[in-house]
Amino acid sequence: MTHTIRVDIVSAEAEIFSGEATLVVATGELGELGIAPRHAPLITRLKPGHVDVVATNGERQQFYVSGGILEVQPQVVTILADTAARAADLDEAAALKAKEEAEAALANRGEQLDVAEAQAKLAEALAQLQALERMRKTLKH
Amino acid sequence: MASGREIKTKIKSTQNMRKVTRALEMVSASKIRKAQDLMKASRPYARLMRKVIAHVAQASTDFTHPFLTERENVARVGFIVVSTDRGLAGGLNSNLFRRTLTSIREWQGKGAQIDVVAVGQKAVQFFRRIKGVNLIGTATHLGEKPKVEDLIGVIKVVLDAYTDNKLDRVFLVYNDFVNTIVQKPRIEALLPLSLVANELENAGGAESEGVKVEQTHDWDYIYEPDARTVLEHLMTRYIESVVYQAALENLASEHAARMVAMKAASDNATKVIGELTLVYNKARQAAITQEISEIVGGAAAV
């Protein structure tokens, strides 16, 4: 088993690849990496780019990752891929959007009874009616 | 036969209602499947992530991440509440909110300030009305196939607040999908992570064993570029994946709860139709009987 290494490539949304390989090539933050069996334990961030996996039968498979983390353990290589391109400013924008939405929701508070709220109240009233109906029935029998 | 037509219209409208609830039931039943598949697909990532974090935590680094250290004074508590966008799911959301409120009041009793991040339209509508609760971020319309990107914003809001000492503890609230019939509201400690790690180690037989065995290695990694950056990255991704999984669990719960609620509604509609039909037939029979007796009475008089 010293000539192959187990490779797992997963993202938060799906399992991308899992199997034995003789070589893994990926783009680390500090440069291109080639991981062969018996590589020293390593953990690094990945840049967006290709990940090449050379399977035991010599077949070369290529995956695209938009960033993530590569971890090398004595027998296992794990790639935790990001699902989308990530950058500090993009994350910042997303956070800002979430905040703004919250503020907008707060600003709308009490302005008018929204439909969902009314529906919820209706459902509650109906449930009460139903309970009454049931009670009446059990009393009758 | 005065009320005959009225009853008939009622029967018709109840039948139409039953058609709608049946359709909704069927739709939800098929969507549970998909949601479960999504849940399954996201598990390997979280599992491997947990392993890596266990390794990193085990490996001797002289740097402890703020996410891993517990704070003495808890002045502000954050809740990430994952709810559904739409209603008609029985008591799913209201049970969840009730549990959350209980916990919120408890913390308020201890003098803590409460910040809430609402995921899903229902949580937004609920928490913007609650007094003494500060809504700091929302994410809605995740749809049938939630994406991690949809949640990045709210997670960053929480993580930033935590790093800036604006939050001292963060909880994640969602509906745990036990099976199609049972969904349990769950409150999980998200930050600091030490609490979570303990919980996870106890969960699952073979998996956690694997983690523990490998933890006994005493080698350290080569970090590129450095331990701090890598750990930072790992923590963020891990928390994202935890919240993402909660969203998926909640999605499966939503469909399951809706299916059950709609099934109950369809059954009730069937019952109502039966009763109405009975009333209708009685009314018809009464009218006929009356008519006959009138004719007979008339004939006898002649």
**What pLDDT, on the 0 to 100 scale, is given for residue B62?**
65
List of residues 6+ apart from B57 with CB closer than 8 A = B68, B197
B-interface mutation test, from A6, A8, A9, A10, most B Cβ less than 10 A away: A10
List of residues 6+ apart from B181 with CB closer than 8 A = B256, B260
The enclosing H or E element of A31 equals strand A31-35
**What pLDDT, on the 0 to 100 scale, is given for residue B210?**
39
Q: Tell me, what's the ipTM?
A: 0.70
Query: pLDDT of B91-118, one tens digit each?
Result: 899 999 999 999 999 999 998 999 999 9
Cα A78 to Cα A44, B59, B211, B286: the distances in Å are 11, 17, 14, 79
- Phi/psi of residue B255, nearest 5 degrees: -65, -40
The average pLDDT across B221-226 equals 80
Examine the pLDDT at B89 and tell me if it is beyond 50: yes
State the angle between helix axes of B4-58 and B193-202 in degrees (0 to 180), rounded to the nearest 10.
100
Query: pLDDT of B234-249, one tens digit each?
Result: 888 889 889 999 999 9
Higher pLDDT, B9 or A50: B9
**What pLDDT, on the 0 to 100 scale, is given for residue B213?**
41
Nearest neighbour of A29 by CB, restricted to B214, B225, B268:
B225
DSSP state of A110: T
Verify whether the Cβ–Cβ distance A13 to B41 is below 8 Å. Answer: yes
The average pLDDT across B267-288 equals 94
Verify whether the Cβ–Cβ distance A94 to B48 is below 8 Å. Answer: no
**What pLDDT, on the 0 to 100 scale, is given for residue A25?**
92
The enclosing H or E element of A130 equals helix A115-140
Nearest neighbour of A117 by CB, restricted to B38, B117, B125:
B125
The average pLDDT across B58-83 equals 80
| Residues 233-292 of chain B whose Cβ lies under 8 A from any Cβ of chain A | 233-234, 237, 240-241, 244, 268
Which residues in chain A are closer than 8 Å to B229, comparing Cβ atoms?
45
Q: Does B154 touch chain A (CB under 8 A)?
A: yes
Least Cα distance to B7 among B267, B270, B274 occurs for: B274
Examine the pLDDT at B208 and tell me if it is beyond 50: no
DSSP state of A112: S
**What pLDDT, on the 0 to 100 scale, is given for residue A2?**
59
Interatomic CA distance for residues A134 and B239, integer angstroms = 47
B-interface mutation test, from A13, A42, A130, most B Cβ less than 10 A away: A13
Higher pLDDT, A35 or B228: A35
**What pLDDT, on the 0 to 100 scale, is given for residue B293?**
95
Other CB atoms within a 10 A radius of the CB of residue B230 amount to 22
Least Cα distance to B235 among A69, A88, A41 occurs for: A69
Least Cα distance to B79 among B67, B97, B92 occurs for: B97
| β-strand partners of A33 | A26
Structure tokens at B298: 């008339």
Examine the pLDDT at B209 and tell me if it is beyond 90: no
Interatomic CA distance for residues A102 and B269, integer angstroms = 39
Higher pLDDT, B65 or B203: B65
**What pLDDT, on the 0 to 100 scale, is given for residue B195?**
42
Q: Does A123 touch chain B (CB under 8 A)?
A: yes
* pLDDT by position in tens, chain A (length 141): 458 899 999 888 888 888 899 999 998 888 888 999 888 888 898 888 888 899 888 888 888 888 888 989 888 899 998 876 666 667 777 778 888 887 787 777 655 556 666 666 677 777 777 777 777 777 765
**What pLDDT, on the 0 to 100 scale, is given for residue B215?**
46
Verify whether the Cβ–Cβ distance B224 to A102 is below 8 Å. Answer: no
Verify whether the Cβ–Cβ distance A106 to B135 is below 8 Å. Answer: yes
Least Cα distance to B119 among B89, B157, B88 occurs for: B157
Q: How do B133-139 and A76-81 pair as beta strands?
A: unpaired
The average pLDDT across B211-228 equals 64
Query: pLDDT of B14-57, one tens digit each?
Result: 999 999 999 999 999 999 999 999 998 888 888 888 888 777 77
Q: To 5 degrees, how large is the angle CA B116–CA B188–CA B58?
A: 120
Q: Does B221 touch chain A (CB under 8 A)?
A: yes
**What pLDDT, on the 0 to 100 scale, is given for residue B84?**
93
Residue of A nearest to B118 (CA): A102
**What pLDDT, on the 0 to 100 scale, is given for residue B273?**
95
- 8 Å CB contact between A79 and B95: no
Q: Given pLDDT bands bounded at 50, 70 and 90, which one contains residue B83?
A: very high
Verify whether the Cβ–Cβ distance B221 to A41 is below 8 Å. Answer: yes
Interatomic CA distance for residues A20 and A3, integer angstroms = 10
Is the backbone peptide bond immediately before A74 cis, with ω within 30 degrees of 0? no
Q: Does A114 touch chain B (CB under 8 A)?
A: yes
Question: What's chain B's average pLDDT?
Answer: 85
Interatomic CA distance for residues A86 and A80, integer angstroms = 14
| % of chain B exceeding 70 in pLDDT | 88
- Give the 3-state DSSP-derived string for chain B, with helices as H, strands as E and coil as C: CCCHHHHHHHHHHHHHHHHHHHHHHHHHHHHHHHHHHHHHHHHHHHHHHHHHHHHHHHCCCCCCCHHHCCCCCCCEEEEEEECCCCCCCCCHHHHHHHHHHHHHHHHHHCCCEEEEEEECHHHHHHHCCCCCEEEEEEECCCCCCCCHHHHHHHHHHHHHHHHCCCCCEEEEEEEEECCCCCEEEEEEEEECHHHHHHHHHHCCHHHHHHHHHHHCCCCCCEEECCHHHHHHHHHHHHHHHHHHHHHHHHHHHHHHHHHHHHHHHHHHHHHHHHHHHHHHHHHHHHHHHHHHHHHHHHHHHC
Residue with tokens 């209201």: B94
Interatomic CA distance for residues B291 and B288, integer angstroms = 5
**What pLDDT, on the 0 to 100 scale, is given for residue A109?**
61
The enclosing H or E element of A131 equals helix A115-140
Interatomic CA distance for residues B248 and A1, integer angstroms = 37
Residue with tokens 């939503």: B254
Examine the pLDDT at B277 and tell me if it is beyond 90: yes
Least Cα distance to B238 among B71, B38, B52 occurs for: B52
- Phi/psi of residue B184, nearest 5 degrees: -110, 130
| Residues 162-191 of chain B whose Cβ lies under 8 A from any Cβ of chain A | none
The average pLDDT across B136-141 equals 89
**What pLDDT, on the 0 to 100 scale, is given for residue A137?**
76
| Residues 44-63 of chain A whose Cβ lies under 8 A from any Cβ of chain B | 44-45
Query: pLDDT of B154-203, one tens digit each?
Result: 999 999 999 888 899 999 999 999 988 899 999 988 888 754 444 444 44
A-interface mutation test, from B149, B248, B267, most A Cβ less than 10 A away: B149
The DSSP-derived string for A45-102 is: EEEEEEEEEEETTS-EEEEEEEEEEEEE-SSEEEEEE-SS---HHHHHHHHHHHHHHH
Verify whether the Cβ–Cβ distance B157 to A98 is below 8 Å. Answer: yes
